[in-house]
Chains A and B, each alone.
Chain A
Amino acid sequence: MSSTILLSRGRVVDPRNGVDGVRDVLVRDGTIAEVSEAPLKVQDARVVDATGKLVLPGFIDLHVHLREPGEEGKETILTGCMAAVAGGFTAVVAMPNTKPVNDSVLVSEYVKAKAREARLCHVYLAGAITKGLQGEEMAEMGALVGAGCVCITDDGRPVMNAGLMRRALQYAQLFNLPVMVHEEDLTLSGKGVMNEGRASTRLGLTGIPPSAEVAMVARDMVLLEETKGRLHVAHVSCEGSVRLIREAKRRGLNVTAEATPHHFILDDEAVGAYDTHARMNPPLRTRRDIEAVREGLVDGTIDAIATDHAPHGVLEKQVEFDKAWNGVVGLETALGLTLSLVREGVMSLQRAVALLTDGPARAFGLAGGHLAAGAPADITVVEPEAEWTVDSARFFSRSRNTPFHGRRLTGRVAQTWVSGRLVFEDGQIKESR
């Protein structure tokens, strides 16, 4: 089926190709055909007037939990993809901590089949580093890559065994595969449930010191230097980690990193009076850590904004703080929170867009992330001045666990196009068939 779409007169921001200005974007058969400064006249094209809107490469989220198979009550691949496209994401990387764990071709194939059925956004797979995420035996990396995994990670768990981590970094080079790591020394974090500091002292909650993260980043930089492998640091939360990653990059190590909106917006005071929606791992840190993460986002130390979208039901959150599960949903609030950094003058719009598009695409070597001719027509159209209030009851995600409910945000997704198909428009998921 051939189709021609002309997105006319929008402000195209495409950091990889150095474009920022009013352009016409012509899409043919799911691919970008032309980006033109002069207005295009095309016969039989469906014309979309994008005047006053931003036309951006589709966002790519390197860190998403779709919960299927195993915890479909929290999210399914379909509802997760709906949340993704509603948030402007045209591609997500699905984490392997499903039940069963994605440490096999079987689970990979299942997720791919469900994603094909959902037919909304691209779903890339992350396979496990170790079988069952147990941190003991390496999973069959070759088979996982064959099944389409674009990275390996033990996700919410660190690889505590340094010898195993070293081998994983070496072996993954067979496939030029990034090893994504949750940096946490469990002997330092212990039974901690929030950042260690004034807030944890006040609340009488067990603290997790920043060293739990920083010490592991340090260890992995040492291993990376020795193995010449490829490492991706997930959800960087503190100043020390940013500094170590910055130094490692300066020394030419092959390291990339991501930060989440909650870690660059909220500090540990957000726990307030034991709000379990502010319970996540790594925990929310201090104002100073937020500033460091922001600096890292601006200067390129951190390559990507990822949401760590982690749906949980009421049962996991409406409990005592120390019994609550970690994590927040993030796909539908990421754009507004990221744009708040632009409004605050922390970074340029170009940098913000790069962190949602080009940065993640390069980190994992994924298609998309830019709008040059020949690229897939994954496009997010944004109304930059639209104000809205986060209402978790209206999320497409099956879960409601967000600390941002009720927050006023500026900047809303108007349309999401995936491979040239309009999958989301004006608050509605478009019929995908």
Chain B
Amino acid sequence: MRHLLGIEGLRRADIEALLGRAEAHLHGGPDASHVLRGRVIANLFFEDSTRTRTSFEMAAHALGAEVLNWTTAGSSVSKGETLLDTVRNIEATGPVALIIRHRSSGAPHLVARHVRCAVVNAGDGTHEHPSQALLDAFTLRRRWGRLDGRTVLIVGDILHSRVARSNLHCLTALGAKVVLCGPPTLLPPGLESFGAELTTNLDAALPRADAVMCLRVQSERQGENFFPSTREFSRMYGLNAARAERLKPEALVLHPGPMNRGVEIAPAVADGPRSVILEQVAHGVAVRRAILEEVCR
């Protein structure tokens, strides 16, 4: 695998190999601190992020790499430099991989066509967030062993969610059934063709789910008339304590973060016994070590 631009198109075997390697990292395994010793990984964050950037940084350090942390603030981007010029300049300093977060869908694809080093998509616009999907799958796999036959319900702003897209491809490839739930304005056309089931009725979908993933609702969407108010959204699609009661006893709750507590997820649910939200974060480092190892081979 030269780049990791998305989950779409990866085979089950590719995904399982990455998850297997992440498992080894999680257990400590043999010392990996020499794997990328003396090499540089460039973290290029054109969009704000805390957990993804930190997680990739820790993963790179664990493999012995140096990390170049770059953000748009104070860079030549604010002087009008194009994405390709910025990236080519950074590539010229010799990193083995570029980790790219960008608000435009497809930006990592554009970069990958014009650089020789590896490119890892750390979230592009409303397209994909592959490392997040892998760590979500990893978290579920650790709980369940296998994902085959399980049903994962993803609820919220599906239209603008790169996490939903990557998870749809990833979970489906691993044999799970994915149900996508949200108001009709936030369910884009054509999702069924990727194997998803669509519903607008959260209450009806909850009892079937083995896991529920709540997505962050971006407050700016309210002004765009996708839904009347955050309050109404929360009432219709928020995972509150009463709704969580409708879940199977052993069902899990996930959230890719950052959370709007009290909007898409109630604090009691986020911090409750079903929640694996902090496990997701912890697993992120192991999964990203596996990704860096793979693309830098």
Measuring CB to CB, which residues of chain A are less than 8 angstroms from any residue of chain B? 196-207, 273-274, 315, 318-323
Contact = CB atoms under 8 A, between A and B. Distances in A.
Contacts of A197: 189-190
Most buried by A among B106, B107, B165: B106
A319 B110 contact: yes
Interface of B: 8, 82-84, 102, 104-107, 109-110, 124-128, 162, 165, 188-191, 193-194
B190 A274 contact: no
Given A198-B189, A200-B188, A204-B126, A274 B105 contact: yes
B190 A322 contact: no
Contacts of A203: 105-106, 127
A202 B8 contact: yes
Given A204-B126, A319-B83, 9 more contacts: A199-B190, A201-B188, A204-B106, A204-B125, A205-B127, A206-B126, A207-B189, A273-B109, A319-B82
A199 B127 CA distance: 11
Contacts of A198: 189-190, 193
A320 B125 CA distance: 11
- Chain B interface SS verdict (over half): mixed
Given A197-B190, A198-B189, A320 B8 contact: no
Contacts of B127: 203-205
Contacts of A318: 82, 84, 110
B110 A320 contact: yes
A274 B189 contact: no
14 contacts: A202-B8, A203-B105, A204-B125, A204-B126, A204-B165, A274-B110, A320-B102, A320-B106, A320-B107, A321-B104, A321-B105, A322-B105, A322-B125, A323-B104
A150 to B, nearest CB: 39
A199 B83 CA distance: 24
A321 B107 CA distance: 8
B189 A321 contact: no
Contacts of B190: 197-199, 201-202
Contacts of A204: 105-106, 124-128, 162, 165
A195 to B, nearest CB: 10
A61 B147 CA distance: 58
A275 to B, nearest CB: 9
A203 B110 CA distance: 13
A299 to B, nearest CB: 29
B188 A274 contact: no
A177 B66 CA distance: 68
Contacts of B189: 196-198, 201, 207
Nearest to B193: A198
B131 to A, nearest CB: 16
User: 5 tightest CB-CB pairs across the interface, nearest first?
Assistant: A198-B190, A204-B127, A274-B106, A320-B104, A204-B126
A203 to B, nearest CB: 6
Contacts of B110: 274, 318-321
B164 to A, nearest CB: 10
